[in-house]
Copies of this chain bind each other. A is one copy, B any other.
Amino acid sequence: MSDILSRLRAIPGLAVVTDTGAMAPHLVDWRKRHYGAALALVFPTDTTSVAAVMQACYETETRVFPQGGNTSVCGGSVPDESGRGIILNLGRMNVIRKLDAEDDSIIVEAGCILQNVQEAAASIERLFPMSLGAEGSCQIGGNIATNAGGTGVLRYGNMRDLVLGLEVVLADGTIWDGLRTLRKNNSGYDLRNLFIGSEGTLGVVTAAALRLFPRPPHFLTAMLAVQGTDAMLALARQLRAAFPGEVSALEIMSHSQMTIVLRHVPGAKLALPDNADWYLLIEISGTTAPEILEERLTTALGHAFGTGTILDAVLASNERQRAELWALRHHVTEGNVKEGMGLTHDIAVPLAQIGPFIAAAQAWLARELPQARPVVVGHLGDGNLHYIAMLSHDDWEKVADKPGLTAHLNHALYDIADDMGGTFSAEHGIGSIHIADMNRYKTTHELNLMRGLKAFLDPKGLLNPGRVLP
């Protein structure tokens, strides 16, 4: 133990923290559900330091828990309880190494905060389209490690689709330099995608080359208040057909979810009836002039208005109104944390199975856990729903077997998704909370393939142990 600490302290320029009080904020996730312990917390400022840390840990067989913005909702960003590992916090590696308008690319270090990357792109009239609730504090390294999703996936893809190249420090401290900005490069196996989404268990991402896009000159952002699940899904289909390739977001919130946001989030306002079953947030962007987009939207919605499916619709007519509509969506997690104990799920199903999933889940909840309110928020265009069983703090306290109840609920919902060709983890990853689910929903064959990759890249099992693989 003293060996690793003295090795770390010998690394030039590396901040090494061992004081328990100073480490405390890094030992617990932001929702205060997962607590860990660590020998030390280190803050490297360059790739060479990360390599030295990794080499020291490899040689002393010390566990390494990489950490970015610590915004994981899966217990993936805090160390385990053993206290035998170190936290490798990338937050001080936050340099934008290159910003290139002609190449439509940006090269950033892992500790760059997502919002700063978005703003850097905007400063050269480009768009970095990754957007999610935690964008003001989550870091690019974590976004890559978890293959983050968010609200722009429908048009621009997951984090995986936005990464052109990576710089990765491997378990033994060697550096893989795959930091190229090429759009096409078919020279050998795709190492890049192996690291993306591996949650720090195969290597530590230190920098990335990311794709930028032209900024669409015009946006149309609208929220619709809709009655009935089938009607809401039919409307979503109509909208996608009416704006082929132009829909950049298609998000839903259930009535229960909207109520929670309005109740808990300061400044949240809804310029729509508050009694609709569903709120559909749609954003269309491109070169078409806003008045033409509005005209086409009005046409597309005409029938639904006639039949009473849509109670009302509101269009953002300026950037402030657009931000207000998005704030309702982005502050969902914050509201839910204040509301009670939300047992959340991050499922995805094929697009045609969203309706059947919602119906089956509601039926199960009404029967087996009637004290829970179903709260649904999701990325409709991606088939990705955050399906939440919300209990009041009082009701949650009364639950005798909390892990048992949670497992029972999870299995029910994941079984439904799995039967439909879906997944129990769409965009948040596995972390520590889904380890048992990996056993339940992945075949032994697939797990063995993953274990083989892990054994090759992390032969001593030191990288983020207890995450991803059972």
Contacts and interface: CB of A to CB of B under 8 A. Distances in A.
Interface of A: 100, 102-105, 146-147, 149, 153-154, 157-158, 160-161, 174, 176-178, 180-191, 193-194, 196-198, 202, 213-217, 237, 240-241, 243-246, 286-288, 296, 348-352, 379, 381-384, 421-430, 434, 437-438, 441-443, 445-447, 449-450, 452-454, 456-457, 468-469
A437 B149 CA distance: 36
A445 B157 contact: no
A246 B146 contact: no
Contacts of A437: 187
Given A182-B422, A183-B381, A286-B287, 10 more contacts: A149-B184, A158-B184, A160-B190, A182-B348, A183-B383, A186-B423, A191-B450, A214-B244, A216-B245, A246-B286
B186 A146 contact: yes
Contact of A426 (B186, B216, B424): B186
A429 B186 contact: yes
B190 A196 contact: yes
A184 B153 contact: yes
Given A185-B426, A430-B187, A449 B149 contact: no
**Among all A-B residue pairs, the 8 with the closest Cβ atoms:** A214-B244, A193-B193, A184-B426, A183-B382, A102-B352, A185-B423, A187-B425, A103-B351
22 contacts: A102-B351, A149-B184, A160-B193, A176-B446, A180-B350, A181-B421, A182-B421, A183-B383, A184-B382, A187-B424, A187-B425, A188-B469, A189-B194, A189-B202, A189-B468, A190-B194, A191-B446, A193-B193, A194-B194, A214-B240, A214-B241, A456-B456
A188 B201 CA distance: 10
B244 A421 contact: no
A468 B189 CA distance: 8
A173 to B, nearest CB: 12
Q: How many copies does the complex hold?
A: 2
B351 A187 contact: no
Contacts of A157: 161
Contacts of A296: 287
Contacts of A177: 443
B103 A153 contact: no
A313 to B, nearest CB: 20
Given A288-B288, A421-B181, A423-B185, A102 B430 contact: no
A105 to B, nearest CB: 7
B185 A425 contact: yes
A188 B350 contact: no
B423 A180 contact: yes
A57 B154 CA distance: 42
A93 to B, nearest CB: 21
B184 A421 contact: no
Interface centre among A161, A184, A379, A382 (most CB of B within 10 A): A184
A14 to B, nearest CB: 23
A5 B186 CA distance: 35
B243 A287 contact: yes
Contacts of A190: 147, 160, 193-194, 196-198
Given A174-B445, A183-B153, A445-B176, A188 B244 contact: no
Contacts of A449: 176, 189, 191
